Amino acid sequence: MSDKGKIVVGVAIFAALVSFPFWYNTGTAKPAPELIIAPEAKAAGACVLPKDQMAKEHMQLLDGWRNSVVREGQRVYVAESGKQYAMSLSNGCLECHTNKADFCDKCHEYASVNPYCWDCHVNPKEK
Amino acid sequence: MKDSRRSFLKIAGVSALGLTAASNAHAIGEYFIPSEKAIKDQKVSTADRWGMVIDTRKLNHETNKKMMEACHVTHNVPTLPEKYKKQEIKWVWEEEYSNAFTEIHNEFQSEEAEHAPILTLCNQCENPPCVQACPTKATFKRADGIVLMDFHRCIGCRFCMAACPYGSRSFNFQDPRNGLEDGKPTNPQFPTRTKGVVEKCNFCAERLAVGKIPACVEVSEGALVFGDLSDENSEIRKVLKENYTIRRKASLGTGPSVFYIV
C-alpha cells in the first residue's frame, strides 16, 4: 500500500500518453471537403446508383465491375433506370466526373486513403 | 455444474460465430454484379476459340515493325532504353526463325531461312501452362480461348514466366510509364501496368469486346488472319486447310492457337 503514490503517478502518465493523440488533435479537425460535381455529371442527371449509395459503396461497386469486365467480358452496366454505362474508370466514370482532383482526390486525401487505381488507369483529361 | 458450464460455452461460441458471420455477410458476394445488370456490348465479336494464322512468307522487318508498333501504341507497351534490354516488355515481337522454331531445327538451311524474321506473340494455348502455374488465378483462360490476365490480382511471383515455354510474358521491373514518351500513355483508353506485375498479349480482348479485330491484324496487310478456329466455315479454317502450317513447340502439348504458314 505504501506505493500508492507511485502507482497513481504511473497511471496518470500512462493515461496521458495513451490519450495524447486525442487531446493533441482536439479542435484541429477540418470539415469534410465539399464535393464538386462537374458540369458534365450534372448534365447527366443521375449516377449508376443513388448518390449516397455511390458515396458509401463506390469502391465495392468498382470491385464488382472489375470482375465482371475482366472475367466475364461484360463491359456494359445496366442501371435501375435502364440506362447503359461503360464499366470503366477511365472511359466511364471520368467521362462525367471530369474533375478527378476535386471529385476523387480531395475526399481520398481527407480520409487518408491511397487507392492505387491511378498507378495504371489513366485520367483521360490529364493530357 | 460442469455440464452447464460446458453447454454455456458451446452456446456462447456458436452465438459469437453467428453474430460475426451476420455482421460480415454483406462483405461476401454482395457486390457480385448480376448478369442482367452487366451485359456485353452489342457489337461484341464472339468465338469458341480465337486463333491466328501468320503467313511468314509475307513477313519482313518493316511489316513486323508496323504490327508491333500498332500493338504497343494500343496497349501502352513501354520501350525501355537499350541498357534495360533484359527488362524489355514484350507483347508481340520479332524472333529469328531458328529461335522461334527450336524443335525442328534443320541442318544445311539457307542463311535466309535460318534468320527469317518471325512475328511471335502469346500463343493463347489450349492448355496453358501459365494458368496452371498462377497461384492467384490472375491468369485464366476465357471461354473463347483467350488466355487473359487480371492485372489487379497479379502478385508478381513470375511463376507464369517460368512456365511459359515461349517467353511470351514480361515482368515490370520498373514503372512501365518510364518507357512511355513523357510518361504519358499513348492510348488513354487503355490502362498502363504498374511495377511488379507481369503482362503479355491479350489478343486484343478489349477490341474484340467492341467488335474490332486485333490491332496487329488490322495493319498486317494480309500477313495475319484472325478468326474462330472452332467454326468450320471461318476464313481462318479455310486458310489452315489450304496451307501447310506449323506451331511453336507443339510437342509440349500446350496446344498453341497461333499457326505459322512456312
- Among the partner-chain residues B39, B184, B191, the one whose CB lies closest to the CB of A120 is B191
A76 contacts B40? CB cut-off 8 A: yes
262 residues of chain B, pLDDT tens digit each:
567 888 999 999 999 998 888 777 666 555 677 777 888 988 899 999 999 999 999 999 999 999 999 999 999 999 999 999 999 999 999 999 999 999 877 888 889 888 999 999 999 999 999 999 999 999 999 999 999 999 999 999 999 999 999 999 999 999 999 999 888 899 999 999 999 999 999 999 999 999 999 999 999 999 999 999 999 999 999 999 999 999 999 999 999 999 999 8
**Considering only CA atoms, which of B152, B144, B137 is closest in space to residue B209?**
B144
The verdict on residue B44 lying in a domain is no
Q: Indicate the domain borders of chain A.
A: 39-126
Instruction: Say which CATH number the domain at B166 has.
Output: 3.30.70.20
Tell me, yes or no, whether B37 lies in a domain: no
Burial label for B24, CB within 10 Å (0-12, 13-18, 19+), is: exposed
Q: Does B44 touch chain A (CB under 8 A)?
A: yes
Q: What residues make up the domain containing B68?
A: 50-261
Angle at B112 between CA B111 and CA B118, to 5 degrees: 120
Residues of A in contact with B38 (CB under 8 A): 65, 68, 72, 74, 76-78, 87
Instruction: Tell me what ipTM this predicted complex has.
Output: 0.80
Residue B25 lies in a domain: no
Q: Concatenate the DSSP letters of all residues of A21-76 into one string.
A: HHHHHTT-PPPPPPP---HHHHHH---SS-HHHHHHHHHHHHHHHHHHHHHH---E
Q: Is B189 on the interface with A (CB under 8 A)?
A: yes
**Looking at the domain assignment, is residue B113 inside a domain?**
yes
- A31 interface with B at CB cutoff 8 Å: no
The total number of structural domains in chain B stands at 1
Cell numbers placing B182: 513523357
- Residue B26, in any domain of the structure: no
8 A C-beta contact, residue B205 and residue A72: no
Residue B67 lies in a domain: yes
Residue of A49, A65, A75 best to disrupt the B interface, most CBs of B under 10 A: A75
B217 belongs to a structural domain? yes
In a domain, B24, yes or no: no
Cβ distance B177 to B150 under 8 Å? no
